[in-house]
């Protein structure tokens, strides 16, 4: 069986953790700050609507991932697991928001086991690129004037 791998991305937002949290946990907001054009909540969680047990579908043209929220600890820790799409086993992402001066440090960590050992380096690159884009987009969106 292939070995577990981990990637980490960082970004800093000028917004406080509470504002970053608001945009991070709202499943329907992901299409605004990520490059994912379609983001919907399929099932509400606890607390409603985006807490533990919430399922969201993210993608384009009816294709994409389904993810379930497994940690919801405002305003500092949010985590989800992949239910479908990529050929990965045990994918879990943890997003940690830490106060950083007047803003927020976003740490987005993904852990996974590639289905095929030869695909590990490619998925490390893909997920590092994707999570970096997510963290930067979230940082910018949370800091924009409302």
Per the structure, the count of domains in the chain is: 1
Cβ-Cβ contacts under 8 Å for 137 (sequence gap 6 or more): 33, 34, 35
| The pLDDT value given to residue 63 | 79
**CATH code, domain carrying 111:** 3.30.530.20
Domain that holds residue 54: 5-143
Phi, psi of 46 (to 5 degrees): -125, 120
Max mean pLDDT range (12-21, 27-36, 51-60, 63-72): 12-21
* pLDDT tens-digit series, residues 102-126: 999 999 999 999 988 889 999 999 9
Tally of CB atoms within 10 A around 25: 22
Q: Which pLDDT band, with edges at 50, 70 and 90, does 20 fall under?
A: very high
Rounded to whole angstroms, how far apart are CA atoms 62 and 65? Answer: 10
Q: Is it the case that residue 137 has pLDDT exceeding 80?
A: yes
* pLDDT tens-digit series, residues 58-108: 988 667 899 999 999 999 999 999 998 778 889 999 999 999 999 999 999
Q: Omega into 53 within 30° of 0, i.e. cis?
A: no
Q: Which of 34, 4, 32, 40 is nearest to 95 (CA)?
A: 34
Mean pLDDT of 126-145: 96
Percent of the chain's residues with pLDDT above 90 = 85
pTM of the model: 0.95
């Amino acid at each position: 069986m292939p070995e577990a791998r981990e990637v980490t991305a960082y970004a800093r937002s000028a917004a406080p953790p509470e504002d970053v949290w608001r945009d991070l946990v709202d499943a329907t907001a992901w299409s605004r700050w990520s490059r994912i054009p379609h983001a919907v909540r399929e099932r509400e969680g606890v607390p409603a609507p985006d807490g533990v047990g919430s399922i969201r579908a993210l993608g384009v043209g009816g294709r994409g991932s389904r993810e379930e929220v497994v940690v919801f600890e405002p305003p500092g820790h949010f985590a989800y697991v992949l239910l479908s799409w990529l050929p990965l086993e045990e994918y879990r992402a943890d997003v940690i928001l830490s106060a950083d001066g007047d803003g927020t440090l976003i740490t987005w960590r993904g852990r996974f086991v590639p289905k095929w050992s030869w695909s590990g380096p490619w998925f490390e690159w893909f997920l590092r690129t994707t999570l970096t884009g997510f963290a930067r987009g979230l940082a910018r969106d949370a800091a924009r004037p409302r």
